[in-house]
A and B are shown apart, each in its own frame.
Chain A
């Protein structure tokens, strides 16, 4: 790429806060001030301003896309926005603050490197702020920004800002999450400290929000420690014209962790068979090594029976393998979860039948305390559960690897996605000498 000496990275972030904390306005402001808005988008904004806004441009109209939202004045679903600066490209998930839409925040936050929790400077820390911070922590988002918004409405009062900061710092340690946390006083409506530094906050010495988004260190957000290659699709050409491909039997997939090298010894799970990586094949040529999250096709030394849902791992840093799982889940469906419910569980490329055998607790979002033995988990509840699967799942703790530590639950019949799950550490790991016993 002759035009770009420095590769551009992608940073994914989500915004969350209570209704009217100004999430959509903030995203509108980022787009507007970073000159990511086009003339026709501005023209559409101005048209709708004439109709509904009494003549003033409403930045929130940029992101509140669906008609129902415009009518109700709230964001009801996850909307994705894209903008770029010379340093980074940004994928923004605008996730709702309305209490019954927690599932959408989980959706938007699940792929994020960074979460922005918006707080109204007048309101301070609300139950919603705690809930959103807790969800961001539970989802293992590495970087957190607390944007204290509407500072103009508290006269840019430094004491108020510090008070809110202290209120967060009182409970953040209990969550034991986040590589870094940044507090920024802003006015999304007027643009202070969003892209340009504010003249109203001489007492604030930190970066503007955009500057922080451009600079926060995200290179180590993927797990490169332990090789995890969930087999996604068996690549076996039918009657290939090229005779070299007659015996081609590739295993295609996306690395979910670690690095794989040609010549490396690997273990195939659940069978436990050992073999060596003969070649790392891609359309662009053979690679000496590949890393998470690259998509490649592996050729193995031995012709083994490997299929979708199997996991290829290195001989060090072995995962757990069990049909008895413990996890924290977010329940996302109107029909509540009760013990004994039978569902499909999709984990990496493996979908198995599962029964939720026990509801251990339900988390009280206000106190973060687990309340033991709830009769059910309702929509938007978080809680810890035990699950029995029909076939073993090869997994890691979610805190170790977000890709091999996560699963979704699917209702049988309607096929609705009813829960997002984050696995607890395995009680024991696969043994390196493990081989081929009956499961």
Chain B
């Protein structure tokens, strides 16, 4: 007796494949944002499921802040090559040199400067839709995102003026200069992502697994010691067994103390976790409305 029944991962998968195919069918110049992080790794597997045996009919795009973990960039380049996909990388430092992105005096973080760099890449390639790996469970402002999120000529999101999204009928129409962001993983949770990685046996960058790293304690977080971020006078450098739960820039990503060195361990750890994924990211904690402000400006 066949059971015509999808479990939760199969349901989320078919929903996401449907979104990706809508993008391929309805846009002329789409791209997939691929950082090498766990969510975008899932996106690429979904792209394979949506489009094989054809080539993935859109390039991959990454905005390189220059503050990436080196393991992440190595993985990004290798994975794109394995999939025979075209990878476009645009660098924040090039955008700064070209005057497209202007740092404030003393501004160390590249987080804000990603925005003009991304918008310039959209203009350069005339992308009309970018597929991203954002999930609604990540943060309060994202809980209100649509699968297809409209951006005006300035790349901005207007949370009060979103298109209603009804059934699975996505209104993908944009005028020249406007674009769309599509989020196939909208309904996925952090746990779903890892369970999918396990089911699909997907490779992830090594920094997700526990390793030994020199860290300093800052603002209640363990931050990795690097050339970009040497210890301040008086700070104690500790050698810890850590991993990353979410990957931002190397200067702002909190490491969590963990011995999880397999996907099974990570799933067990998340299931028991008492802090959300974004709790480890200093950039979100600036204010309660931090994410909302960045999204309005064109952030992912």
The smallest C-beta distance from B150 to any residue of chain A, in angstroms, reads 8
Chain A contacts of B226 at CB under 8 A? none
Chain A interface extent, by class:
35 or more
Across the interface, name the chain A residue whose C-beta is closest to B13: A295
Q: DSSP class of A's interface residues: helix, strand, loop or mixed?
A: mixed
Known: A66-B292, A291-B4. A235 touches B54 (CB 8 A): yes
Chain A contacts of B186 at CB under 8 A? 80
Per the 8 Å Cβ criterion, residues 40-99 of A in contact with B are 40-41, 44, 47-48, 63, 65-68, 76-82, 84, 89, 91
Interface residue? B68 (CB, 8 A) = no
The smallest C-beta distance from A342 to any residue of chain B, in angstroms, reads 15
Across the interface, name the chain B residue whose C-beta is closest to A103: B164
Chain A contacts of B52 at CB under 8 A? 283
Q: Are B54 and A237 in contact (CB under 8 A)?
A: yes
Bound complex: CA of A65 vs CA of B169, how far in Å? 25
Known: A40-B275, A77-B144, A80-B143. A235 touches B55 (CB 8 A): no
Chain B interface extent, by class:
35 or more
Q: Are B187 and A233 in contact (CB under 8 A)?
A: no
Chain A contacts of B141 at CB under 8 A? 65-66
Chain A contacts of B22 at CB under 8 A? 232, 349
Interface residue? B7 (CB, 8 A) = yes
Bound complex: CA of A68 vs CA of B159, how far in Å? 10
Among B144, B164, B273, contact of A420 (Cβ-Cβ < 8 Å): B164
Bound complex: CA of A5 vs CA of B113, how far in Å? 47
Q: Are A237 and B173 in contact (CB under 8 A)?
A: no
Known: A235-B54, A295-B50. A104 touches B174 (CB 8 A): no
Per the 8 Å Cβ criterion, residues 212-247 of A in contact with B are 219, 222, 224, 232-233, 235-238, 240, 242, 245
The segment out of A14-22, A177-185, A316-324, A408-416 that lies at the interface is A408-416
Bound complex: CA of A349 vs CA of B169, how far in Å? 8
Question: Assuming A66-B292, A236-B54, A417-B164, what are 13 further A-B pairs, CB within 8 angstroms?
Answer: A38-B276, A65-B141, A65-B143, A66-B141, A80-B187, A81-B143, A82-B187, A106-B164, A219-B5, A240-B53, A295-B50, A308-B25, A416-B163
> What are 5 of the A-B contact pairs (CB < 8 Å)?
A68-B159, A79-B144, A236-B54, A293-B6, A403-B167
A residues neighboring B (CB under 8 Å): 1, 7-10, 38-41, 44, 47-48, 63, 65-68, 76-82, 84, 89, 91, 103-104, 106-107, 110-111, 219, 222, 224, 232-233, 235-238, 240, 242, 245, 248, 250, 252-254, 259, 281-284, 289, 291-295, 308, 332, 344, 346-349, 402-403, 406-408, 410, 415-417, 420
B residues neighboring A (CB under 8 Å): 2, 4-8, 10-15, 17-18, 21-22, 24-25, 48-55, 136-137, 140-141, 143-144, 159-160, 162-169, 171, 173-175, 186-187, 189, 191-192, 199, 273-276, 278-279, 288-289, 292
